[in-house]
Structure formats: C-alpha cells, structure tokens
Amino acid sequence: MTRLPDGRWYTVVGVTGHIDHGKTSLVRALTGVDTDQHPEEKRRGITIDLGFAAWEDDQHVFAMVDAPGHQRYIGNLLAGVSAVDVGLLVVAADQGIQAQTLEHTSVLKTLGVPQLIVVISRIDLVSPERVAELREELEVFLVDCGFTEFPTIPVSSITGEGLDALKSALRQAASAAVPDEARRSDGASEPLRMPIDRVLHIPGRGLVVAGSIWSGAIAVGDQVQLVGRDDVLRVREIEVHGREVEVSHTGLRTALNLVGLSGRDPRRGDELVRPGEFTPVRRLLVRLSAFSDAPQLKNALQMQMHTATTAIEVHVRAAEPIEPGGQYDVIVETASPIVATWMQPCLFRLPHPVGCCAGGHVLGWVPSHVRARRKDLLNAARALAAAAPAERLMGWIQLTGTLDPRESWFAQWARDAIPSWSATVDEVLQTDQVIGIGPLLVSRDALHRTEAHVLRILEEHARQSADTWLLVDTLRRRLETWAPAELVDRAVERLLQEQKIVRLNRMVALASEKTLLSKKQRARMEQLLQQYESARMPPTAKELAAGLGISLDAVQTLVRHAVEQGLLIDLQGGFFIGRSVLQQLCTELHGRYQQQPELTVADIRDLWGVTRKHAIPLLEYCDRAGITRRQGDVRVAGVNLPQWVQAQTATSNKADPD
C-alpha cells in the first residue's frame, strides 16, 4: 500500500474464488470495467488470465486484480495475488464452499495477504436463510484456515445490493493497512524491482510490460534490465491505470513502454531491475509450512514453486520427510536463477496429485561460490529464521566462514534482514566467535582452517621442492578460491606470532633449525633478498658487501644460507639469482623456442634484457641444469626446460586441495 502524489491511498485488491462464482461480474459492478477481455474468456464465460480495473473516491484508489478461479489457471492467480494489500474471497451463495475456495484461501493465507474481505455473491438467487447459513459455514471454515477477523458482505452484482457495504469494507480494510510513518516511503532510495505479470504489443507504441512495483521507483528515461538478460532497456513511457505519468514507485500497478530489446520478448515471471542491483540465485533456504491436507512429501521431491510472478520447477531437499501440517527448513534448488529477497513468500504445488501442498518464506540464498553440506545449510536456515538480527547475521558468517558485506548478493539480503547494520555488526563482533578483518566478518573456525591450510601448503612445498620458502603472494593465490587475501594475511600473522613459521622479506617457511635466524641475521637477510628480488642482473657478493656496508664474509654466510634454503641459486663465479627470477626467464625462453628452435647467446641476452656479463653465467648454469643444451654456437631447449616452466605456472596458479 502506498500514497499517491495527490495524497490518496493506493490499495491493490486481489479478487479470488472458485470458477463461476461471480468475481468478474463483481469487479464490473464496482468499476464499470469488464476484465474478461480475452476472446476465449468471452466464449467460455470464465476468467483465464488476470484482469485489471480500478475504482476510486476522494481518499482511495483501489486496483482490482481479477484472478482466474479454474484449477488449471492457478498459476495465473498466483501471479496476480503476489503483491496485494487486501484479499477479496468471493463465494457464490447458490454453490457455497468449493474446491478452489479451499485452495485460494490457503494461497491468501500463505502469501501473507494482510487484510481479508469475504463476499457472498449472487444473493439474488437464494433465500436470506441460505445466506445466513453460508455465512456461518464460512466463519468456521476461515477460522480453521487461520483467519480471525474478516467482514462478510452479501452482494448481488445484478441488483446492486450490498455494493455500498462492500465499498465501505474496502475503505476500512485500506485504512487498517496504512503503513506506519517509518514505512511510508515511495521507495525512491530502494533498488528497483518489478515482477512482470503482463506483456503486450500495442500498435504505435511497441512493447509494454505491466506489473506491481515491489520496491524502488522508476521514471521516464530510466535504464532497466530483465534479470538474466544483457540488454539495457530504456523506459519511453509510464502509465498507471491508463494515466500517463513521469514517475511510478513502490506498490503501484504500472505499465512501462520499453525500447531497446533484442532477442525473445519478456514473459510473465521475468523481473525488471536496474543493472547490477539484484543477483539472481539458484539455491534458496526456505522456511516451509506444509498444508494440513497435503500428502507426506518425500525428500528431494520435484515440485513447482510460485513466487512473485514466477512459476519454476524446483527440487526441495529437507533433513526428513515433510509431514502434513509441519514446518520445516528446506533447501530449494531452482531450474534457473531467480530473484529473491528475505521473507519473500512462495507457494509449492505438486504435479501429481495436482494442487498446492505447502507455502513458505525465503530465509536466504546460497551463492554459487559457497560450498557447504546439507546439514550446514539447514543449520544456517534455522539461524536465518531467528527473530534477532544478530543471530541472522551470525548464521551467514558461520555458513560462509568469511562474509564480505560489499558483495551484491549479501547486500541484497541484508537490506531487509538487518535493519540496523552498524549496531548488529558491533553486537556480533562482541562475541568470541567472529572477528573483523577490515570490512570482512570472519568466523574463528574459518581463521583456524586457514592457518591449517597455510601450514599444510608449506609442509607440502618443503617436501616436494628444493625451495623451502614460498612467497606470501603465492599462498594467497593458492587459497583464493575460498579464502580472501585479507584472511590469508591474518593467518600468516598469527602463525608468525606463534613461531610456527618464519618470514624473510615477502617469503615464509616452516620454522625449523634450517630456517630460524637471529633477529640481526633476519634483518640482514631481508636486505640481501631485496637486492635479488626481480633482479635479472643481480650484484656479485663483493658488490653486495660494498652496497650493504657489511663484510664479505657476512654476505657469503647469508648467501650460503639463502642457497641452502632454495631462496637463491648459485650460478657459480660469484653470481647468484633468485629462484622465481630464473623461473620467469625460463618461461620467456620456452616461449621463444616455440617460434625459433635455435638461439645464439646474443638472441637470449636480448630476450632476457641482460648484459653479456650476466648472460654467460646464466646460460652455463642452464646448460648444467638441462634447461638448455649447447650445440656449437647456438643453444636449443633442454630436457628440463618444461619442468621450470611448469614450476612457474604452478607457483602462480596452483589451488589448495580441500
């Protein structure tokens, strides 16, 4: 429900009930509009698709959504009542409570329609006694369904009897549904979301889509996208109930004339959003309530889910069979990505026997990069259903391990689920289960797992390589599939504090007798390694001693330790080079050999960008190591060259095994 620019309240009314109970006639009597526009609807005398009309007074505008009553068209009804403020349940006096009366009542209750009005139609066909009898039946029936307060209005669309009373009841329901001051926003600051329930091609205008705006505002000239499509569309024209406007907003039934579409036309169930504002997902966590008359539902059952205006095939997975009348947290896997928000209502239907079997509300969704067992996902769902925002936030942190609030999928959830973000984060950080690393919220379990992964990588590296040390950048790359760099850095810091690993410059290694140095030695070693970092023409030991202002013996001791640890490679003749630098030179050499199988010293010198003074000891080492092979005045690729290239690639790309 929302307020119009002229100050009147705008209320969407969903008109539901069994087939041929007089819904369309009632809407026509109220509005003067025949909502059965489809030729097939005229021929058969039933509503197949949604119909729309409006009536208004000085204080209110009522948008009437005439939903089909036939069981075959229940999907159309669900699209129509997905965003209504008042439900109108129509029951014919001459027919009473029928099958679709039961199903439509369950739909209204499940989707959380806040206000219900019951209309006993066609009272001109029965006696007053029958009307009174049906009123009592309906009261008992609706109380059993969970409705406690609702007016019951007898009406005849033929004679007009009861129409004034119905209009009065609609006004009262609209007044009762008026939002408090904190929620009277037109949604201008919220992300735009408009589920589509109608698509038209109008001569002279082209493509028109219609639906109720769930959040946000839209203006002529705005750019929008269909979820899952790359086309950027422009809004050429906006209408609200036949009136051209410049802006429409949350709660209004709106028609948009769009330009710029390529590919297939939109269809019911598609959603319009602004580029980048919503992330479609395929795994939902849902609090499901099974209907009392539903059969037992087996685990991993295939069903159809209706939410917003979408009908989609899903698999529902629970920890146990779903019993009639029970409430369960479940994982819902959709056939294709959809948009969802926290506590968004949804309805489930079985293919056999056909019918609605359960309702539910979306608690959250699981992005594709989150890997978790079913048990962990269901535990998270229970936390996300908690009343306290801090418990809901804790549920996400425990599930994901590391939560980045800047990610679009999480921001989409938190907008509704965490009304006071800063206060909730402060509350969570006061526990001993969560730590803050910059903007990240990290569970202590995730930090401990990261530390264990770092130690395992270093152990594996020391066992499989002559090089004991590993660049911190390499650790980050090997863990990037599940741990952000900030978390890896924090794990390294803690391991250094606990003296489980040691660090030199940008490299780390397991703490051992071979890698431990005094504080003075470590400082000098870091100075020394900085001279070799990325250096293709590094200094000799004598040049290094002069540059650092320390004795040649001290330099030689440090260099010897670095060689033993695999940090440097001894080229002989007083020349040393960093292992990662040599790996890069081998990669470049391999690439050139793919084009030119024989290379002279000058060719290789120019390729590497070094002087002859450095090229000769480098190539002599490459000959000894099998990286190159000398043939007269040229060199060809050696048998070990691919191993050095693979080592370079592995250092850059290797992922850590779970």
Read off the pLDDT of residues 287-330 as tens digits, 9 standing for 90 and up. 999 988 888 888 778 899 988 888 899 999 999 999 998 999 99
pLDDT at 73 over 50: no
Positions of E strands within 155-228: 193-195, 198-202, 206-212, 217-219, 223-226
What tokens does 285 get?
A: 């966590």
How does residue 46 score in pLDDT terms, banded at 50, 70 and 90?
very low
Q: Which CATH superfamily is domain 193-273 in?
A: Translation factors (2.40.30.10)
The tens digit of pLDDT for each residue in 501-547 reads 988 777 788 887 666 666 776 777 788 888 887 788 888 878 888 88
pLDDT at 181 over 50: no
| Chain length of the chain | 658
Contact residues for 655 (Cβ-Cβ < 8 A; gap 6+) = 478, 480, 481
Q: How far apart are CA 296 and CA 321, in angstroms?
A: 7
CATH of region 2-182, choose from 3.40.50.300, 3.30.70.120, 3.40.190.10, 2.40.10.340 = 3.40.50.300
Domain limits, CATH 2.40.30.10, in the chain: 193-273, 281-431
CB contact at 8 A, 11 and 174: yes
The tens digit of pLDDT for each residue in 610-625 reads 999 999 999 999 999 9
pLDDT at 75 over 50: no
> What is the SS3 assignment for 7?
coil
Place of tokens 């109220």: 30
Q: How far apart are CA 86 and CA 62, in angstroms?
A: 10
pLDDT of residue 137: 93
Number of H helices, E strands in the chain: 20, 34
pLDDT (mean) for 117-144: 92
Contact residues for 438 (Cβ-Cβ < 8 A; gap 6+) = 486
Domain limits, CATH 1.10.10.10, in the chain: 572-653
Share of the chain above pLDDT 70, in %: 89
Whole-angstrom CA distances from 361 to 82, 154, 388, 415, 557 are: 13, 34, 17, 16, 68
> What is the SS3 assignment for 283?
strand
Q: How far apart are CA 324 and CA 329, in angstroms?
A: 14
pLDDT (mean) for 564-581: 83
Q: How far apart are CA 168 and CA 153, in angstroms?
A: 10
Q: What is the DSSP track for 293-326? A: TSPPB-TTEEEEEEETTEEEEEEEE-SS-B-TT-
pLDDT at 657 over 60: no
How does residue 48 score in pLDDT terms, banded at 50, 70 and 90?
very low
> What is the SS3 assignment for 610?
coil
pLDDT of residue 347: 87
User: Is the pTM above the cut of 0.85?
Assistant: no
pLDDT at 598 over 90: yes
DSSP run (H or E) holding 101: helix 99-110
Whole-angstrom CA distances from 216 to 11, 277, 451 are: 17, 11, 44
Contact residues for 119 (Cβ-Cβ < 8 A; gap 6+) = 17, 26, 88, 89, 90, 91, 152, 153, 154, 155, 166
pLDDT at 435 over 80: yes
How does residue 499 score in pLDDT terms, banded at 50, 70 and 90?
confident
How does residue 467 score in pLDDT terms, banded at 50, 70 and 90?
low
Positions of E strands within 133-172: 152-154
Of 197, 206, 268, 201, which is closest to residue 52 (Cα–Cα)? 197
CATH class of 572-653: mainly alpha
Q: Which residue has the higher pLDDT, 4 or 210?
A: 210
118-122, 174-178, 280-284: which has the minimum mean pLDDT? 174-178
Fold of 281-431: Elongation Factor Tu (Ef-tu); domain 3 (2.40.30)
Contact residues for 127 (Cβ-Cβ < 8 A; gap 6+) = none
Domain limits, CATH 3.40.50.300, in the chain: 2-182
pLDDT of residue 114: 74
